[in-house]
Chain A
Amino acid sequence: MKPAPFVHHAPRSLEEAVAVLGDVGHDGKILAGGQSLIPILNMRLASPAHLIDINRVAGLDSVEVTGEAVRVGALVRHAQLERHEEAHGALPLLRQALVCVAHPAIRNRGTTVGSIAHADAAGEMPAILALTDGVVEAAGPRGRRDIATGDFFQGPLETALAEDEMATAVRFRLFPAGTATAFAESARRHGDYAMAGVAAAVTVTDGVVRRALASFVSVTDVPSVLDLTDLLQGMEPASADWSTAAEAVRAHVEPEADIHASAEYRRMLAGELARRVLAQAAATALGQPATTPHAATTPHAATTKDAARHD
């Protein structure tokens, strides 16, 4: 398994990278961490004539935390973002999900922006960008533009980036005060692609739920956010109707079967994980320790990461 021949470009600046991309267009692919792209090249599922290797482009490797968002450059490795204390403080959801992204050796190389540009709905970070209502910053020969998450993901492995555009950064938007998040996924082995995963953000003020959102890994074609506010609004976290929310999740997702799990099993998992992360996020938002609402169907490999407050 070796990649087909390609012409390697190693631009030193974003302008140079965009110029090369403008020249080669459809025949070019951006190489950042390569942890999704190189397997595809090795298996010859793709054989682009040009690879634009941005690893030497200056200025793309920083994480910036502002009052509104965590901005992540195109060369920030998953491991770098996972360990970034300021980003963790502003948006704990990032680390909650990043520790579930593949294995450490992959996170050391793979980039967060790259996994979003790859737009695999089995990836964790597209779901996280969606839940935070984030923005993808793109650059191309016609200049720069921001693309909202809702417009960015257009299909499996398909995005709104034009063939001569590249993603230069993403901005994960911060949640309002009183919001807490939780993430859980179930995989056959820790670090493998999840059979199902759910991220939740729940806002609690004056002791009751004001807003509840969930997004999904591996059970939808494109990253999508399900707004559960109507079902949960006004309820107290300790007695909220998580079962109805889980039922809504089961109705929303569209899982497919493969050798690891049937579609029905994935649907069940998505509902159960949603029940857990919603309850956990709500309890955290309230400032109470998380409770385990339902232990009967515990999938062994499910990993529920610590929830944390955002305010």
Chain B
Amino acid sequence: MTDLTTEQLHDVTVYVNGVARSATVPARRLLSDFLRHDLGLTGTHVGCEHGVCGACTVLVDGQPMRSCLMFAVTAQDHQVTTVEGLCTAPDARPCATGERMNPAQQAFAECHGLQCGFCTPGFLTTVTAYLEENPEPSEAEAREAISGNLCRCTGYQNIVKSVLRAAEIRAERRGEQYAADPADPADPADPASTRGPAPRHTASGDGEAPR
């Protein structure tokens, strides 16, 4: 084992929600801890730290992955979307509180798809990416899509409803977008289209659990 006092540090740069973010960290820094501790993006929650609960799921190059099962050094130069980044997606809209929400966020709010909210960031990232792949899931497909995320409060019923509702909202917003600018519809096949331009993150709407 390496001596702690001589543990080598690495300069790591990751494109988080479209912005290059850097920190100097030991090689063993998990991506989840890098996001939370080093970058202060506490929207990503850490549950089990061995890949079972799904709370820490983020999008790496558009694909959902467990941030507790990746090292920050391995994420060097990759694109990471956290729950904070969902509100800057092209299909995010201002909600009643003035914050922006993407279709998944809006649907979870409407359908009461959360109670304590701890697992929610992982569900939101997972569902956002899933709808890119399957924009019109059946109820059974919606259930399977979230099988890798654990929720200890809801019993999942409202989460399944939220996934189906998110698909509806997403389709509505795609329609509006197309009506506004038929020449440049967001390409549903392009995962980059969910990542949005690259405005700097603001602390709003990160789905943090009440303390």
Q: Give A residues with C-beta under 8 Å from B.
A: 1-8, 10, 31, 34-35, 38-39, 41-43, 47, 49, 51, 53, 55, 79, 102-106, 108-109, 189-191
Q: Is the CB of A189 within 8 A of B4?
A: no
A4 to B7 alpha-carbon distance, docked (Å): 10
Distance A176 CA – B51 CA, assembled complex (angstroms): 38
Task: Give min CB distance, B81 to chain A, whole Å.
Answer: 13
Chain A-chain B contacts (Cβ-Cβ < 8 Å), number: 99
Chain B interface residue bracket vs A: 20 to 34
The winner among B26, B69, B130 for most chain A CB atoms within 10 A is B69
Quick check: B69 and A38 within 8 Å, CB to CB?
yes
Q: From A3, A102, A191, give the contact of B28 (CB < 8 A).
A: A3
Which residues of B sit under 8 angstroms from A189, Cβ to Cβ?
147
The answer to whether A47 touches B1 (Cβ under 8 A) is yes
Closest 9 CB pairs of A and B: A103-B148, A8-B27, A39-B50, A5-B2, A108-B63, A105-B64, A1-B49, A3-B28, A38-B69
Contact status B65-A105, CB under 8 Å: yes
Complex Cα distance, B50 from A43, in Å, reads 8
Residues of chain A with a CB closer than 8 A to B130's CB: 104
Which residue, of A8, A79, A103, A105, has the highest number of chain B Cβ atoms within 10 A? A105
- B43 contacts A by Cβ under 8 Å: no
B148→A105 contact, CB < 8 A: yes
Complex: chain A residue closest to B48, CB-CB? A1
The SS class assigned to the B binding surface is mixed
**Apart from the given pairs A34-B74, A104-B64, 4 other A-B contacts in the complex at a CB distance below 8 Å:** A7-B8, A8-B10, A38-B70, A108-B64
Known: A5-B7, A7-B8, A106-B148. A42 touches B50 (CB 8 A): yes
Q: Which residues of B contact A (CB under 8 A)?
A: 1-4, 7-8, 10, 26-28, 30, 33, 49-51, 54, 57, 60, 63-66, 68-71, 73-74, 126, 130, 144-145, 147-148
> Is B147 in contact with A51, judged by CB distance below 8 angstroms?
no
* A108 CA to B69 CA, complexed, in Å: 12
A-B contact pairs, 13 of them (CB 8 A): A4-B1, A5-B2, A6-B2, A8-B10, A8-B27, A38-B68, A38-B71, A51-B27, A53-B73, A103-B148, A105-B148, A106-B69, A190-B147
Interchain CB contact under 8 A, B2 and A7:
yes
Which of B1, B49, B145 lies in contact with A42, CB distance below 8 A?
Answer: B49
Q: How far is the CA of A38 from the CA of B7 in the complex (A)?
A: 19
**A2-B30, A106-B148 are known contacts. Are A8 and B73 too (CB-CB below 8 A)?**
yes
- In the complex, the answer to whether A105 meets B54 with C-beta atoms within 8 Å is yes
A39 lies within 8 A of B65 (CB):
no
Tell me the minimal C-beta distance from B24 to chain A in angstroms. Answer: 13
In contact, B148 and A102 (Cβ under 8 angstroms): yes
Could you tell me the distance between the alpha carbons of A125 and B30 in the complex, rounded to whole angstroms?
A: 27
In the bound complex, do residue A103 and residue B54 qualify as a contact, i.e. CB atoms below 8 Å apart? yes
